[in-house]
Amino acid sequence: MNIKLRFSIVLIIISLAFISPLSAQLSLNVETGFVTASKNDVRIPGDQGTMISLTDDLAAASSFFIRVKGGYRIRERHNIIALVAPLSMKSDGFLPYEVSFAGVVFPADSMLDANYKFNSYRLTYRYDIVMRDRVEFGLGITAKLRDAAISMKSPGYYAEKTNTGFVPLINFRLLLMMDERLGFLFEGDAFWASQGRAEDILFAAQYEISKKMQMHVGYRLLEGGADNDEVYNFSMFNYGSIGFTYTFR
């Protein structure tokens, strides 16, 4: 099953939820800003390639990002959430040694251009356990479809490693309101296992502009990786985030 078919299935599921006869509330969130990488270590294959840092050995450029999230709340406490979160970052530079990457040996002292892609498509169900005037807290589960690729090129040489697959994550959300409009938001998806880990967490101040519009300003951390014979990759990305949520009441 290819990635387009998988994503189409997710969209069908969301569409069926939207036409549910239950009392429900729709919302749309758009988040944007800039993202930088503080760590991105790669070795492909994981047991034979050359270890290279796309942030320390090469120069990694900051990147503009945008994430779009649709929410569907049913009977106050049940939430279905769909997220599209693309990520792409470029690195380049010269290395004084040969680099073995994905079966290709890149010569020493040649210009290397690397492109790191980690697109994420997620479908979440969350139940809001606590719903009070000043505190909201919920837990759920996320099905994440990973569309990742790392490529490297220099004059006359090119190699790429792609990876797609589903990953289960734990979803959480905590909102602490200081007054009727201002609050602090802590939410994300995370999972840890012996094969690797993944965290996508937002720390933000949230402000209610109107009954239908909210905004947040904060910091997002995206971190994780895997270590196996096929691939070694551990990375950390830091986001300066501003987002707006519109609720269709």
Average pLDDT over residues 207-214: 96
The whole-chain average pLDDT of the chain stands at 91
Counting Cβ atoms within 10 Å, is residue 166 exposed (0-12), middle (13-18) or buried (19+)?
A: exposed
pLDDT digits (tens, 9 = 90+) for 61-91: 999 999 999 999 998 899 999 999 999 999 9
pTM: 0.89
Average pLDDT over residues 162-181: 95
Which of 7-16, 63-72, 197-206, 223-232 has the lowest average pLDDT?
Answer: 7-16
Per-residue model confidence (pLDDT) at position 165: 87
Higher-pLDDT residue of 10, 215: 215
164 to each of 31, 120, 121, 150, how far by Cα in Å? 24, 10, 11, 12
pLDDT digits (tens, 9 = 90+) for 11-64: 555 555 554 545 679 999 999 999 999 999 999 999 899 999 999 999 999 999
User: What structural domains and CATH numbers belong to the chain?
Assistant: 3-248 (2.40.128.90)
Flag whether pLDDT at 5 surpasses 90. no
* Structure-block tokens of residue 189: 């998806």
**DSSP result, 167-184:** EEEEEEEEEEESSSSEEE
Alpha-carbon dihedral sign for residues 129, 132, 137, 140:
positive
Q: 111, 116, 121: which is closest to 36 by C-alpha? A: 116
Residue 85: which residues within 8 A CB-CB, separation 6 or more? 67, 119, 120, 121, 122, 200
Q: What are the two backbone dihedrals, phi and then psi, of residue 212, each rounded to the nearest 5 degrees?
A: -105, -15
CA gap 164, 153 in Å, rounded: 21
Alpha-carbon dihedral sign for residues 60, 40, 192, 8:
positive
